[in-house]
DNA sequence: GTGACTTTGTGCCCGGGTTCACAAATGACT
DNA sequence: AGTCATTTGTGAACCCGGGCACAAAGTCAC
């Protein structure tokens, strides 16, 4: 089985959602939407959701122009139109987009009408916070299973969900239709947990532990490295200092 | 005052660490390191740290080749060399890099020898987890201040730090030399908190609340949007399903 | 010292993402 | 009906990061 290593890249990954398998298979042509575009599409949908909820911010006839929507999400209007064009033409020239129709299109394209059951492994500080976060189920990601190895935690309820033994992962994941696995264990356990999740049929993993994860090629891994985020901010801080020093040195 | 909007981009941001100010200022030439490179540099440093700690995995003469280091971090050797070349030439052709010297160079370049005091605003589920995370101080990011508006939390210790009233942010941040602010409040409060942090002199912000933040141009904002990460995984799941369906439909 | 081997540093190309700018389409107004 | 203002959709140029491949440079063996 060929394996890939989850690249530790948080920003600037080239990934363009290639056909999952190896060869591009000449016969079937799935439209390939850049990952950056997918990310923005979700923000468009969120803004439209909020508009629909509040009722404000869109015209009486229920349309919204690319300029208006772009301003709301803080983005270039041309980029927005190009993003939307990946889904086909759904706007009316001279008018704009029908907000309700656009919302529906985005929901369809992003699969926002479905739910994706999530399992969180490692019910520590971070795992508990994730389990209790209401924003996940609100967006279609209900946490349906919690796993740990700590006997003191197994069997106890956290955020309304009983913590299961990690050894029952395969059983519980299949029973709860878990589609996405979140790894919130200490780093040394992360690889083992990933293996367990993969064996349980989970093919999408979100990892919080630093370090690499090696998984089969058909498993998608995303990593969130908070210490790295701070490091990048710190680097900016240094640069800023350098700039200030240089400014002062060369008047 | 010119303001910028923190782009909601998690992946694929073009950001190339431009000179912070407006004009590139012809006189002073700061070497511009791509953000993606900075991110990888930190992982190189981590791996070197671990090697130095364990003592293993590097040769007896204390050198390591780009191929070896690249394999350890799971990355293309050429990319690694190019990354390192941004810091100047520090390797010896025919031999490799002196591990200790490289580590020192990376520490210097990334400012890893300094500490960057952090303040966390919003001591809820997520904020408490962040405050208790030992990985932050271990990497030079001690959490020195916690802020909240909840009277039940103010004055109480969390992870050894007494929670302060957000109204004392300016005072406490200056006293504790806070350089980085982390926003872990509900979304509606995020913008106000950002304003408070900026007023307190914080110019680097890590935000967990969805939605945009508007800040002055000299303030650096990074956003972590966990729901977006799940959404991107879900999109892959859809694509996978589509591929499978298409495969089945076109035999 | 010389030759063979190893490894770095980097020029070059490629593919993807962002942006501009404009033609096409549509509705409103006369 | 015709004209004009408005807005979409997209071709094309530009920029940036990734990866290949090779010359330069240095080491080691003899
Ligand atoms: N807490 C944070 O704010 C934070 C920030 C950045 C990164 N992280 C990363 O997130 C991960 C979790 O952090 P945390 O602070 O929640 O840690 P934690 O120590 O509070 O919790 C870890 C949990 O994982 C469980 N666990 C250990 N091995 C396991 C295994 N093999 N299978 C299942 N469960 C197992 C432990 O019993 C514990 O409940 C770590 O890798 C950490 O580096 C956390
Ligand atoms: N918990 C998670 O796993 C998770 C996941 C993704 C995103 N987030 C985001 O992180 C943020 C925090 O999430 P949480 O689960 O910790 O929320 P929470 O409700 O548990 O905690 C929020 C805390 O912020 C405090 N607060 C409210 N207004 C404030 C203000 N103006 N100034 C200072 N403090 C204030 C509250 O008193 C509370 O203690 C939210 O924006 C949420 O969307 C959280």
- For the domain covering A3-110, report its CATH number: 1.10.10.10
Q: Which residues of A touch B243 (CB under 8 A)?
A: 19-21, 28, 30
- Is the per-residue pLDDT at B250 higher than 70? no
What spatial distance separates the first Cα and last Cα of chain A, rounded to whole Å? 61
Centre of ligand 1 from the C-alpha of residue B193, in Å: 28
What's the rounded Cα separation, in Å, for the pair A180 and A183?
10
- Indicate where chain B has its CATH 3.40.50.720 domain(s): 118-228
CATH 1.10.10.10 placement within chain B? 3-110
Q: Please give, one letter per residue, the 3-state secondary structure of chain B.
A: CCEEECCCCCCCCCCCCCCCCCCCCCCCCCCCCCHHHHHHHHHHHHHHHHHHHHCCCCCCCCEECHHHHHHHHCCCHHHHHHHHHCCCCCEECCCEEEHHHHHHHHHHHHCCCCCCCEEEECCCHHHHHHHHCCHHHHCCCCEEEEEECCCCCCCCEECCEEEEEHHHHHHHHHHCCCCEEEECCCHHHHHHHHHHHHHCCCCEEEECCCCCCEEECCCEEEECCHHHHHHHHHHHHHHHHHHHHHHHHCC
pLDDT digits (tens, 9 = 90+) for A31-82: 588 999 999 999 999 999 988 777 665 666 889 999 999 999 999 999 999 9
pLDDT at A200 over 70: yes
How many CB atoms are located within 10 Å of the residue A236 CB? 20
Retrieve residue A84's tokens: 């939307």
Question: Is residue B243 within 8 angstroms of chain A, CB to CB?
Answer: yes
A positions 146-175 inside 8 Å of B (CB) = none
Give the model's confidence band at B9: pLDDT under 50 very low, under 70 low, under 90 confident, else very high.
Answer: very low
Chain B: give the shortest CA distance to residue A233, in Å. Answer: 6
pLDDT for B237 beyond 80: yes
Q: Identify nearest nucleotide to residue A40 by CA to C1′ distance.
A: C17
- Residue A22: pLDDT band with limits 50, 70, 90: very low
Q: What is the CATH number of domain B118-228?
A: 3.40.50.720
The phi-psi region of residue A130 (left if phi > 0; otherwise alpha if psi is between -120 and 50; otherwise beta) is: alpha
- By Cβ distance, the residue of A112, A228, A247 closest to B42 is A228
Q: Which two tokens stand for residue B216?
A: 């002055």
Tens of pLDDT, residue by residue over A88-122, are 878 899 999 999 999 999 999 999 999 999 999 99
CB A200 within 8 A of CB A176: no
């Amino acid at each position: 089985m060929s394996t890939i290593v989850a690249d530790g890249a948080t920003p600037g990954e080239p990934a363009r959602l290639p056909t999952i398998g190896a060869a591009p298979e000449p016969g079937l042509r799935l439209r390939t939407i850049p990952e950056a575009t997918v990310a923005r599409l979700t923000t468009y949908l969120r803004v439209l959701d909020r508009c629909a909820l509040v009722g404000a911010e869109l015209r009486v006839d229920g349309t919204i122009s690319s300029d208006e929507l772009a301003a709301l999400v803080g983005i270039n209007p041309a980029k927005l139109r190009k993003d939307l064009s990946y889904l086909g033409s759904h706007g009316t020239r001279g008018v704009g987009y029908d907000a309700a129709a656009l919302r529906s299109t985005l929901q369809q394209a992003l699969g926002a009408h479905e739910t994706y059951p999530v399992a969180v492994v490692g019910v520590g500080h971070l795992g508990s916070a994730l389990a209790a976060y209401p924003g996940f189920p609100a967006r279609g990601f209900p946490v349906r299973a919690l796993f740990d190895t700590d006997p003191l935690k197994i069997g106890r309820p956290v955020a309304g969900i009983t913590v299961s033994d990690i050894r029952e992962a395969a059983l519980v994941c299949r029973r709860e239709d878990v589609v996405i696995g979140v790894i919130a264990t200490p780093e040394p356990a992360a690889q083992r947990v990933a293996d367990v999740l993969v064996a349980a049929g989970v093919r999408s993993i979100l990892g919080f532990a630093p370090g690499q994860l090696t998984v089969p090629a058909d498993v998608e891994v995303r990593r969130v490295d908070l210490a790295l985020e701070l490091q990048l901010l710190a680097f900016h801080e240094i640069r800023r200092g350098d700039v200030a020093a240089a400014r002062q040195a060369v008047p």
